[in-house]
Structure formats: C-alpha cells, structure tokens
Structure 1
C-alpha cells in the first residue's frame, strides 16, 4: 500500500517532468499556448497538493511561479531564454523540495535567488509585492473543471441599501470562463421607472475549477435578500439528447415537459416554435442556446483530453506478479505433459483451458509492464539543451517513435546507457559552430533519437551528423594501449567496437563531461546484460549512428524447443523462419559451419551437437532450423524439433556471465532445465572462431 505522502511525491515528480517538457517546447515554439497551459497546470497542481502534506515553503514558491505563468498566459510576459532558464532551475529546486517537508537553509536561499531572477523580468514597478500579494481564490478547488449555471436577481431595494451587482459579477467571472446574460424582461415602461429601484436579473454560465461553495461566497453579504440559484450542469452525461435545446429548456425550468412534447410534433426549429406559442421568452431561448454551445464545447474538450482511470502500484508488485505468471506457465507446461501421458479427455480439456487462460494472463501482465519509450525522451532534451549550452555548441535533438513500447524493467535499466551515449555524441560527435561552417555544414548540429519495433525486438538508434569516428586514430590508440597489434587485420566494425574497451579514450584532454575513458565499456556491458546488442556505423565527416537491439521483455517469450541427444534447447520463436529436414547421407563434412542450399539460396548452418559437444550418435534424419537476424539468415542443425513452448526466462548466474550463445535458461514441465539460445550471439561466435572460416560445398536438400 503506497502512503498518501509518497503518492503525492510520485505524482508531483511526474508533473515536474511535464513542466520540463512544456518549457523545452516553449523555447522552440514561444507561441504554443498548449505548452503554456501544460506548464501552468503542472505548477498549479503541485501548489494545490503540497500544502495538504505540510510542504508550505513549496506551496509559497509554487505560488510565485504560478502567478508568473498566469501573466504569460495573459500576454503580460514574453517567453525568453531567461524565462525558460529560471523555470527549468525552479523545476530542479522543486524536485529537491519534495524530498522533505523540512526545507534546508540552502533550499531557502536558492528559492529566494530564483525569485529575484524572476522579479527582474516581471513588468510591474514593484514585482515582489505584486507577486506576493496576488489574490488567492478562497475555498477548496474542485478536482476537475465544471460548468455552473448561476442565476441571481437583486432585491428591488439593493441600490438603496448600497449593494450593486457589478462587484459580484467581477468576482464570479474571475473564477473562470464565463458567459453573462442580462435579463430585462421585467422592465416597466420608461415613464414608470424608479431610478433607485433594481429591475434586472443575471445568468452566468461559468466554466471553473472552483467549488460551488466558492461561488456562493461571492454572495456572502446579499444571500438573504437576493434571489440566488447555483446549479452544476452535468457534463458527464453520455445521453446525446441531454444538451438539445428542448431538453435544456426543460432542465432549466423554462418549459414544461408536456409543452415540449406537443411542440416537437410540429417539426420546425424548437426555439422558434416555443417562442411563437408563447411558451418561452426569446431571452430564455438565447440563454439556453449559449448554455448548449458552452456545454458541447467543454464536453468535447474533456473527451479529447480524457485519460483512462489508473491505479498506482509499486514496481515490486508488478515484478512479483510477473514471477507468479512465470511459475504458472511452468505448471501449465507440466500439466500438458501429464495430459499427454495419461490420455484422458477430461484432463486434456482442463489443460487446454488452462493454457488459454495462462496465455491471456501472460499477455495482460506484459501489457501492464510495457511503457512507451517516449516517457524517457524528456530528460534527453534537457540534457542536450544544457550540455550544448555549456560547450558553446548549437545542437537540435529530434525524436521519433516515442510511442514504441518496452518492458519497464528494460526501460529503467536503459536510461543511463542512453544518457552516456547522447553525452558522447554532444561532446565528441558534434563539432563547434565555426568548425561546422568551415566544413560547409549547417551551424546547428543534429542528433536523432529514434525507436521502433522489429522482429519482436526494440531497435533504438542515436544518430548525429558530426565529425564521425576516425578509424586511424582509434587503431593507433588501441595499439598504444596494447589492445591490438599493428599486424591485426580488423574490419571497420571491429575498429569501432574498440571504443567500448575499458579505459579507452581518444580525447586530447579530460573535461567535466568526458575524456577519462570511463563509461563506454559500462554502457556496452549494461546493454548486453539486458540481452541486447550494440553496433556502430560511422563515416569521417558525416557522423555516427549507434544501434541498440533489445528484447521487448526479460520475463517470458514464445520459443521453439529443440532436442540434441538428451539435451533440450529453446530458440526465440521471433527469430525462427522455418524447419527443414537433413539426411545423414549428405552430412559428411566435419567442420562446425556448413552451407545448405534452400530454394536457390545458400544458407550457413551450425551443428549444435558438434558446437556443444553433445555425446551420442546423430539420427538418420536431422532438422535444420532456419533463423534470421535482420536480413541475415542462419541455420541450426538439431536432432528433433519438439515444438512451440512458452519460455519463462531465468537469468544465468555469474558463473556463466562470460559464456556466449545463451540468453538464459528455463525450467521444463518435468523439472529439467533447457538452455535458451541467443542466435545472434551464436552466429557472431561462429564467425569469429577459427572454425568459422571453414566451409564445405553446398549440401542440396532432398525434395
């Protein structure tokens, strides 16, 4: 159970993330009103909730920021670089303030300094006094925007008693967006008017976040003498007829339901009909039409911004749920084995039903853990902004595929490696403005961060248009550090991969940002621990592209189980294309890597029996499982293809961290263990081994 205070802190941090994203958008598009509204809502929400939990200094600080943002909304302040910097720093300070209700002296000093900076760009003669004494709306705000129909008629002697309707109208209209209708149907003839008598009445349609009690406070001194009626209009009603003019007139008490039904039988416009029949006055029809327009507008706005109800659950509970689902999958596999063994129709039916429910539960649990990768993009925009400013470079970050979903566990562990790679692109990749101009490039460097799904994997790329990697410089540094020798013949990719060696750096000097050779090896290790692969493509003067391929989840996958002797292995099903037969008569070659010809295409394959040195004789007919990684195809020769298998991934211990070709293990229904193969890692291992260079003549498949 999450405590209310902890819930507030979590939600406040989410609002600060939204604030930062809105500010960065405003910096690029100063006229973007939606970004201004987002920033205002974030500060307003934090301010309103902070006081309830004893964060009084945070509430006071947020109030000043809210007032400034309100002036921005009204056009009294302009978006400037200074304005954005002040609010970004303010967001950072508010994040610190959320840690404890007892604020430190340093935080107090920092808040005062920030407010001084804010006062300098405020247009008032005495901005500090103006900000501090900004009027507060009394009463508790409603949890969401609502529409109120406010009707009031001052008593006949109001003017004589010193009361006027205008102050009431000003106070009400200050609470939100209002439509004001003045009704004068009771005016006497001109020669019968009494100058000190009140004849008018008013109706307001008010869209506000204030509560009904707050609205009634406006009538505090006249509540006993005036005729006052405040009704909330139901904007949650899904009835399509609820906001039709006739229904509104009935709801407002202007028309009887019977009179409406009689008029509807005559078909013309209902407003005109009712006026002609003398059932309702023209002013009431106009007021109802305004209410109709306003209600429909607010309903449409709410529907557009409507979000699904959510329940906040600790991440540990989701992990526990996934573990339980994994155990359920294992039990279900065991039941299937028992069902096959006893050959009982009732047990088979139960097993099939449980398998269906288990699959649905697995998919639903996956859905809960999946999050859009765009939820982390905001922090990278801030990183690029701050570092480019610090280095005196002009850099633009573009993002694509923000809605690409990834397991939350993977996403959390991916954040730090991505930050380090982007920092590296900013520091080493993008050139200073003067260097870019000299090279004929645009003065502003560009970094593209994109994400997409491919073959049940998530592919993330970080691409810059900077100076690129200098292969000669990297190779010389690697020789100096004795990582390679001058005689080694390396491909471009192998040279590029040297930057991920521990302690490797080509930086001429150490800076606060990089240059110590610490970090890139950790980045690669972190990605490999997630079951991912990191590749580099770079050209001098054109830029660098880093590609990360990751599994969408680290918990359960669909696999293809295969057998070699008494050993069982699982290949990820998303990598498998097809299975073909291979007879013993044409497997005469004894090298580990072989070639099979399939429909005119030569495909290399690997014998898992030989690779893992499984004892025993080969069966007369073997199976080759054809897999793919990107556009590359590769086969794995096995004794038997057992079939599709829901695979619960169990991470390997530290003893197996250096073993290539495995992404984990799984427990079978009978309690035995099957290793989960990593096809990409196996292909790389074969290619880099001494046996990988040996091939035979193509083996032609029998039809």
Structure 2
C-alpha cells in the first residue's frame, strides 16, 4: 500500500502557494491599488502560516506571521505597495521557500528581511498600530481570576461552530483559538451543548463550539482573516457587549456550577447561547457536500505514475499493432472484429493518457516574471514582459526540460539585446524595453518565440568572433540564418567582458543541445535596430507519434508524419549517382533530395519506381528517396542507447507489429544535409 507523506504533501501545496504569492506580488507592483491582488496575496500568506503550523513547520509559521502582520497594513490601506516593499516581500518569499525545503538547516537572514519590511511599512505610515499601545493590556493581563470590568470597557463576543468536515481537511481549532487570542485579551469557553452520546459520536466531526470574549476596539476584520477559508460553511455570530451585559453574564456564569450540582443531568440550559435553527445546519451540510464534490474533481498524481502509465499504453499500442497484423492475415471474422475493437479502445486510451500528460505552457511562462523583475533591477533596464499563448499545451516532459533553455534565451535577450535607457532614447525608442514570450500551435508542433525590441544581432561582430575562434574562414560564404546560428557554437560569445550574466559562451550551447535532445529546432531572425526573435519548434510529445513507415532495401524506417509534406514518384532517367546536384522541380520550386540507399550504405541495385517523401524542418525542405512507402502507423518512441547516441540520422526507434525494430529518422538532420547539397551546388556554379 502506498501511503503518501503528509509533510511532502504540505511541501507540494506550499510550492503552489509560493508561486501564487510571487505572481501576486509581481502583479501588485504593476497595479498597487488593486485590492483583489492584495487580498489574494494575503490569503496565500494566511494559508501557508496555518498549514505550516499544523504540519510542524513552526519556523515557517512564525516568520510568515510577522510577514503577514507587516503586510496587513497594505491590506488595510494604511500604506501603499511600492517597488521597495515588493522587493523585500519577494526576498521574504524566497526565505519561506528555504525554510520549507530545508527545515533542519540553520537559515539566517529572516530577521533582517522582517526588519526591512517593517521599516518600509512604518516609514510610510504616520499612525502607529493599535497593538503598540500598552496602557490597557496592563490591568487586563494581571494575574486575576476574573478582573472587574471598567464602566467604559467594550467586549466582543464570538460564538462559532466549525463545519462538519473541518477536522478531516486539517483544520486545527487550537490554532484558530490562538489566532483569536492574538487580536486582544480574550476569555475562551467551550460550548458543549451539541456533543452527542458516546454511542453515536463521530470523532472526525467537531461537535464542540467555542465562545470567545475579546477585548478590542473592532475585531471584525481580524476575525474574518482567522476564518478566511471556513466562513461560508460554518456557524458564526459576533455581538458587542457593554459593561452591564458583561456583569450580568459573569453573574450567570458564577451560578452555573451550583445549578450543575443540583441537576441529575446537565441540560441545554447550561449553554449560554441560543441554538441555531435546523435550517441553517441543513444549508451548511449542503454547502459541505458541494465543497467535497469540488475537492474530488481534481486529484494530485505523482509524475512517475503518469510516466509508468504512458509506458504501459505504449506497450498496448505495440501489442495492438501485432494483433492487427495477425488479424489481417487471417480469414477469421471474429478475430478481425476483436482487433478493430481493440484498436479503437487503445487509440482512445492513448489520446486520453497523452491528454493527461499535457500541461499548459503558462505554468512555465509564469516562472520567468521573477527573472525579468530581478534582471531589470540588476542591469538598471526598465523592462515590460508580455506573454501570449499561455493556454498552449505541451507534454509535461517538454515543459520540465524547457525551463533552462528559456532562462538562457531570456537572459541573453535582456543582457545583449536590450539597450540601456539612454541608448534607447538616443535611438528614438521608449525607455522601457519589451520582451515577448509567446507559444502557438504549428501543425503537430509548438512554436515558442522569445522576441525583444533591442538592437538586434550584430552580424559583422558575430562573423569576426567566429573567424577569431576558427569556426569559419574569412572566405566562407554564409547566409544570415547560418551566421546567426554560430552563436550556438560551444564557447562562442561576443561579450567584451565576463559578467555574472554572460561572457563565458556556455549558455547558448546548452540551449542548442537541449533543443536537439527534444527533437526540436531553433530559428533565429534579427533586424538591426529593431530586435531579434528566437523561435523554438518542438513536437507536442516525446512518447507516441504518428509515423510513415518506409522501406529502403530490406530495412524499414519511420518518418514522423508531422514533418511529411507530400509524396511523389522519382522521375525516370535521373542519374543514380548525381552527387551534389540532386534536385527535383516541385511546382516550380527546386527541392534537393537524398537517396537513403546512399546515406545508409544499403547494398544491392535500386528498385524501379522509387518514391520521394518531401519533408520539412523550419524553413528547409528535402526529398527522401525510398524504395517503398508501406503506410502510416502509431509509433511508440524508444530512445537509442548511449552507444548509438552519436548517430545523427536517427532520433530513436520503434517496435513494429511483427516485433521487429524500425529506426525513426531525424528529419531536422536530414533537411540540414539536403541544404548542404544546395549550398555546395550554388558554390560550384559560382566558381
């Protein structure tokens, strides 16, 4: 039986709340007067504090409590959110993250952060907070059983009963009472009028109610904060008592023990509150049922289980393909019917499983807002960050592996692309630079673009640096696209000096290797003085794709169907070994083609009536000459071993219906090879 660790569950939920907190703070910096943002940020803090205390993270609860107290002045409108406050609040968020992830480590700096936070808040607040005043708590806190109230004393009486599912979902009544006691001097009494007989008592239902008499000016807002996530489903009443009411109540309380001794059984009269009518209880139960249904509508599942499920679905697809092949060779109608039904079911299961693995790319985009914020302050460049296409979905594995490449590209755009405010003003641009991050579907691919409105790539400087590093010779002729791609070479950098952000030439190399590993491509476009765009083109998933099965000699290969544009027949009379000048006229456009027999070293004579499969990658196209096109199939991708990882023509392998293995062609590499034929041919003609 797999029992989840409650501490790890808290950490997972805390990470989500911290992400929500960071997003709220960054939004608040742009819109300081937005009360909804302030309230959502405060709710995130309140939840982290309560959950942290419940799971034993006392350091987290104490730190967040101080954080919450300082931020409460913003929520009450006593101070305004500004850049300085947001900066310290983000530091506090990072400190909370460290306290949660490494609870046993000694983490310093929290006191300094809180001191800075209080200094910023108090520096903008003319009136001191109410808890700072000490005159009244002095007589109330004196060690006395029941201090006599003053004539002008004001007491607020709070009676509440928690929802029936409060204990099940982790609510701790003791922590709630402690928070209420922090509002002001309080007297707490348990209300036991609803405790049932032991035979029918449910230990997971909070039968006890609570009466809290609070000495405070107006605790309404503070009480709302305490019951922030319970108010809609609980019973709560708050009334103000004057001195006369308080004296009468104290007299009544003093007589209660005598009455209890005279009676055989304590009746409802012992409870000072008037019970609620059954109607509100029924309404509360209905609300609880709704909340339970809402909570059950989503389920947290470890990523490893999804990976395992995807592997099982892949094996099912392979088994189904084998069954379909056997059924196709058989005359048994019943077998063919079962094979068709299984194919339908496995196809639906495949689509559903892949849908579960798909994650909105907005979850990745939101991480970079903090990066932009910090880099803007570090480099002194005001930056506007714009994102579009957050709802575009991508395989979760792709999302995880894309984080580092996008960080490198964004840092590169800000450090190298965007000019300083002075230079932008001299060029007639707004002082604030713009970085855009977008995602769109492009067939069976997703195109992710990072665009800036900076100075653009300096082609002359790139070429000079490439010649200096020995990547090209002075007489090498390159297109702009090829020249721009030199920035992805290992060790390449045009930075004049090494800084904390750039200059060592390792970032873009990491980007290229990661995107290649994801079977993706990178397009680079740039206009001097207007900016640059880096576009990553990635397949939707790395698990199962639709493929076209072809034969070359006795070997069978799979071409990703998303890369296939069309299929044509190879015209007769074309010389079989016209190396370097292999072109086809496809509706007026010259398309280079590769004979896969030559590429793979296949022995034997070429077969008549060969076919050409036109594939594309980015803006390039190439024709692949094969002996036979067998048909389309669902391809379960298996990664090649480390021993074969250096073979660039293949991106993986798949198991066919008869149990044999077919290699999956790397269309991006083959298209690049075909473009090499074009370049050599044009160079030869120019010579």
Q: TM-score, normalised by structure 2?
A: 0.77
Deviation by residue 1:516-552 (Cα, 9 ceiling, x = unmatched): 2222111111111111111211222221111111111
CA–CA separation in structure 1 for the residues paired with 2:216 and 2:108: 44
- Alignment correspondent of 2:529: 541
**Aligned residues between the structures:** 587
Q: Which structure 2 residues correspond to residues 366-445 of structure 1 after superposition, within 5 A?
A: 366-445=354-433
1:627 to 2:627 alignment: no
Question: Are residues 76 and 584 of structure 1, via their aligned partners in 2, closer, same or farther at CA, if it must alter by over 3 Å?
Answer: same
1:531 to 2:501 alignment: no
- Alignment correspondent of 1:508: 496
CA–CA separation in structure 1 for the residues paired with 2:472 and 2:516: 23
For the residue of structure 2 that corresponds to 1:478, the secondary structure is helix
CA–CA separation in structure 2 for the residues paired with 1:107 and 1:654: 45
Q: Which structure 2 residues correspond to residues 686-701 of structure 1 after superposition, within 5 A?
A: 686-689=674-677, 693=681
CA–CA separation in structure 2 for the residues paired with 1:623 and 1:130: 86
- Alignment correspondent of 1:215: 236
For the residue of structure 1 that corresponds to 2:377, the secondary structure is helix
1:27 to 25, 29, 40: 29
For the residue of structure 2 that corresponds to 1:484, the secondary structure is coil
For the residue of structure 2 that corresponds to 1:548, the secondary structure is strand
CA–CA separation in structure 1 for the residues paired with 2:487 and 2:472: 13
Question: Are residues 462 and 674 of structure 1, via their aligned partners in 2, closer, same or farther at CA, if it must alter by over 3 Å?
Answer: same
1:492 to 2:480 alignment: yes
Question: Are residues 228 and 308 of structure 1, via their aligned partners in 2, closer, same or farther at CA, if it must alter by over 3 Å?
Answer: closer
Residue pair 2:653, 2:664 contacting (<8 A) in 1 also:
yes
1:683 to 2:671 alignment: yes
- Alignment correspondent of 2:11: 9
- Alignment correspondent of 1:227: 274
Shift of 1:121: 4.3
Residue pair 1:176, 1:208 contacting (<8 A) in 2 also:
no
Deviation by residue 1:215-267 (Cα, 9 ceiling, x = unmatched): 279799687455341624648969xxxxxxxxxxxxxxxxxxxxxxxxxxxxx
Residue pair 1:593, 1:607 contacting (<8 A) in 2 also:
no
- Alignment correspondent of 2:57: 55
Deviation by residue 1:279-323 (Cα, 9 ceiling, x = unmatched): xxxxxxxxxxxxxxxxxxxx9xx9xxx788222122122111111
Residue pair 2:320, 2:342 contacting (<8 A) in 1 also:
yes
CA–CA separation in structure 2 for the residues paired with 1:583 and 1:236: 77
CA–CA separation in structure 1 for the residues paired with 2:157 and 2:16: 25
For the residue of structure 2 that corresponds to 1:98, the secondary structure is helix
Question: Are residues 690 and 217 of structure 1, via their aligned partners in 2, closer, same or farther at CA, if it must alter by over 3 Å?
Answer: closer
Residue pair 1:397, 1:446 contacting (<8 A) in 2 also:
yes
CA–CA separation in structure 2 for the residues paired with 1:400 and 1:640: 43
- Alignment correspondent of 1:579: 567
Residue pair 1:464, 1:544 contacting (<8 A) in 2 also:
yes
Residue pair 2:622, 2:670 contacting (<8 A) in 1 also:
no
CA–CA separation in structure 2 for the residues paired with 1:136 and 1:556: 63
CA–CA separation in structure 2 for the residues paired with 1:171 and 1:228: 23
1:345 to 2:333 alignment: yes
Shift of 1:209: 2.1
Residue pair 2:79, 2:125 contacting (<8 A) in 1 also:
yes
1:611 to 2:599 alignment: yes
Deviation by residue 1:10-33 (Cα, 9 ceiling, x = unmatched): 110111111111111111112333
- Alignment correspondent of 1:148: none
- Alignment correspondent of 1:448: 436
Shift of 1:38: 2.2
Residue pair 1:144, 1:209 contacting (<8 A) in 2 also:
no
Shift of 1:422: 0.6
For the residue of structure 2 that corresponds to 1:215, the secondary structure is strand
Question: Are residues 687 and 100 of structure 1, via their aligned partners in 2, closer, same or farther at CA, if it must alter by over 3 Å?
Answer: closer
- Alignment correspondent of 1:560: 548
> Which runs of 5 or more residues in structure 1 are unaligned?
146-162, 178-205, 239-298, 697-703
1:317 to 280, 305, 308: 305
Single out whichever of 405-414 and 673-682 deviates more from structure 2.
673-682
CA–CA separation in structure 1 for the residues paired with 2:77 and 2:539: 48
Q: TM-score, normalised by structure 1?
A: 0.75
Residue pair 2:595, 2:625 contacting (<8 A) in 1 also:
yes
For the residue of structure 2 that corresponds to 1:229, the secondary structure is coil
Residue pair 2:161, 2:236 contacting (<8 A) in 1 also:
no
Deviation by residue 1:562-607 (Cα, 9 ceiling, x = unmatched): 1112111111112223333346456666346634445555544332
Q: Which structure 2 residues correspond to residues 112-261 of structure 1 after superposition, within 5 A?
A: 112-117=114-119, 119-121=121-123, 123=125, 126-127=128-129, 129=131, 175-176=223-224, 209-210=230-231, 215=236, 224=271, 227-229=274-276, 231-232=280-281, 234=283
Shift of 1:556: 0.7
Residue pair 1:61, 1:111 contacting (<8 A) in 2 also:
no
Question: Are residues 581 and 481 of structure 1, via their aligned partners in 2, closer, same or farther at CA, if it must alter by over 3 Å?
Answer: closer
For the residue of structure 1 that corresponds to 2:536, the secondary structure is strand
Question: Are residues 131 and 395 of structure 1, via their aligned partners in 2, closer, same or farther at CA, if it must alter by over 3 Å?
Answer: farther
- Alignment correspondent of 1:106: 108
Residue pair 2:157, 2:239 contacting (<8 A) in 1 also:
no
1:355 to 2:355 alignment: no
CA–CA separation in structure 2 for the residues paired with 1:56 and 1:131: 27
Residue pair 1:584, 1:622 contacting (<8 A) in 2 also:
no
1:674 to 2:662 alignment: yes
Question: Are residues 481 and 695 of structure 1, via their aligned partners in 2, closer, same or farther at CA, if it must alter by over 3 Å?
Answer: closer
Shift of 1:97: 0.7
CA–CA separation in structure 1 for the residues paired with 2:233 and 2:478: 75
CA–CA separation in structure 2 for the residues paired with 1:378 and 1:691: 42
1:81 to 2:83 alignment: yes
CA–CA separation in structure 1 for the residues paired with 2:66 and 2:108: 19
- Alignment correspondent of 2:92: 90
CA–CA separation in structure 1 for the residues paired with 2:16 and 2:66: 20
CA–CA separation in structure 2 for the residues paired with 1:572 and 1:446: 36
For the residue of structure 2 that corresponds to 1:550, the secondary structure is strand
Deviation by residue 1:22-54 (Cα, 9 ceiling, x = unmatched): 111111112333322321221111111111111
For the residue of structure 1 that corresponds to 2:276, the secondary structure is strand
Shift of 1:376: 1.5
> Which runs of 5 or more residues in structure 2 are unaligned?
138-155, 172-210, 241-245, 253-269
Question: Are residues 453 and 211 of structure 1, via their aligned partners in 2, closer, same or farther at CA, if it must alter by over 3 Å?
Answer: closer
Residue pair 2:592, 2:678 contacting (<8 A) in 1 also:
no
CA–CA separation in structure 2 for the residues paired with 1:615 and 1:493: 37
For the residue of structure 2 that corresponds to 1:386, the secondary structure is helix
CA–CA separation in structure 2 for the residues paired with 1:349 and 1:676: 30
